[in-house]
Amino acid sequence: MQKWIVLVLLMGLVLAGCGRNRDGAPEDVGAEAFFSANLQRNGVFETTAVKNPAPPKWQFQAGEWVFTAPAVVDGVVYFGSYDGMLYAADAATGIEKWHTAIGQTGDPVISSPAVYGDVVYVGGMDGNLYAINRENGQELWRFATQGGITASPAIANGLAYVGSEDGNLYAININDGQEAWHVETGSPIAFEAAVADNLVYFGNGDGVLTVVKAVNGEKAWEYLAERTSFSAGPVVGDGVVYLTVSNEQLVGELLSVDVASQQLRWRFLMNAESYASPAVWNGLVYVANLDGKLYAIEENTGQERWNFPTSSTVFSSPAIADGIVYFGSWDQNLYAVNGRNGQQTWVFTTGGGVSSPTVADGVVYVGSDNGTLYAIPESGK
């Protein structure tokens, strides 16, 4: 099936929100939503958690796999599907507001949408970054690259930052869709860039972390993860950048690199490759991989605190709200786990493999391989 072909492509390149931008433009644009909760990509959603779930308040049936992490803003959920569409649905009812095609007919939407102001930004497998009016789904502009865009864009400083399979990171003016600058790396950039302290962090297929000034793209520093390639985007927090890489034995590693010294602090070796972005909360780094486990790693030492096993592979990036870690497995379950001790809080079974969740206003939104987006509320909501 086509969805598996593209997933294998992402894995070959070494391959899911709602949050406030703390490094963005100085003006208050109101609505903001980014993959993995914020521009640092730490996965922490500043919202009410779902600790005692009720049955789904609605289910939205798309034409194919809902792979992307939803973006939730002002009572509207934005998400993409392998049917080639970007959807907007009412967060209270699940009723569709609009949908629009992204890329060429039949191209899946893999890039998780980002919302900034009145615009939804999403990448296409046709190599274009699209700016879509979030009220009516009309295209405002598109910016062409020479390779597919699988990453979710980051928006800050009046620019949209996004990598392409053509090996370039682009900074695009959000007002007119014109290029401000680009950085060439020579290897595909399949994953999200992180933005923190006026720097943009991104990795490529050669295992090089590049850090550039957000305003002009001037290189600040770089770090080479030897004999590896990136399998998820970087996460930045408290003077440390966390990197998920795959080594030449196809084994996953989580690296902790000090921003000030640009030196490796520690590495955590996993049993299998990881294609999920890590999350960071309360002194722990959470990362899942193809062995079906979610690991909690001590932020300071790199030692394993605990792991939570599922019965299948995990591609889902964890989302955290009020100490609860949510993630999906290919065993068709969405898990909610206590972030401190790894004990299961609850589990919800879908009809297919589970993508990366988003938490907003006491509801967990998550897509599935069966083409369904689920809205799972806290009891009483």
Structure confidence at residue 251 (pLDDT): 80
Structure confidence at residue 120 (pLDDT): 98
How many domains does the chain contain in total?
1
Residue 24 has pLDDT above 60, yes or no: no
Residue 1 has pLDDT above 70, yes or no: no
Structure confidence at residue 94 (pLDDT): 98
Structure confidence at residue 4 (pLDDT): 40
- What does the pLDDT average to over 108-131? 97
pLDDT tens profile 172-201: 999 999 999 999 999 999 999 999 999 999
Structure confidence at residue 381 (pLDDT): 66
Residue 6 has pLDDT above 60, yes or no: no
- What does the pLDDT average to over 219-230? 89
Q: For every residue of the chain, which 3-state class applies, written as one string?
A: CHHHHHHHHHHHHCCCCCCCCCCCCCCCCCCEECHHHCCCCCCECCCCCCCCECCCCEEEECCCCCCCCCEEECCEEEEECCCCEEEEEECCCCCEEEEEECCCCCCCCCCCCEEECCEEEEECCCCEEEEEECCCCCEEEEEECCCCCCCCCEEECCEEEEECCCCEEEEEECCCCCEEEEEECCCCCCCCCEEECCEEEEECCCCEEEEEECCCCCEEEEEECCCEEECCCCEEECCEEEEEEEECCCCEEEEEEECCCCCEEEEEECCCCCCCCCEEECCEEEEECCCCEEEEEECCCCCEEEEEECCCCCCCCCEEECCEEEEECCCCEEEEEECCCCCEEEEEECCCCECCCEEECCEEEEEECCCEEEEEEECCC
Structure confidence at residue 247 (pLDDT): 76
Give the CATH number for residue 201.
Answer: 2.130.10.10
Structure confidence at residue 104 as a pLDDT band (50, 70, 90): confident
| Higher pLDDT among residues 181 and 250, named by residue | 181
Structure confidence at residue 138 (pLDDT): 98
pLDDT tens profile 27-55: 445 689 999 999 999 999 999 999 999 99
Q: Give the structural domain span for 86.
A: 2-377
Residue 147 has pLDDT above 80, yes or no: yes
Query: For all residues of the chain together, what is the average pLDDT?
Result: 91
Q: Using a pLDDT cut of 70, give the percent of the chain over it.
A: 91
- What does the pLDDT average to over 70-95? 98
pLDDT tens profile 264-314: 999 999 988 899 999 999 999 999 999 999 999 999 999 999 999 999 999
Structure confidence at residue 259 (pLDDT): 98
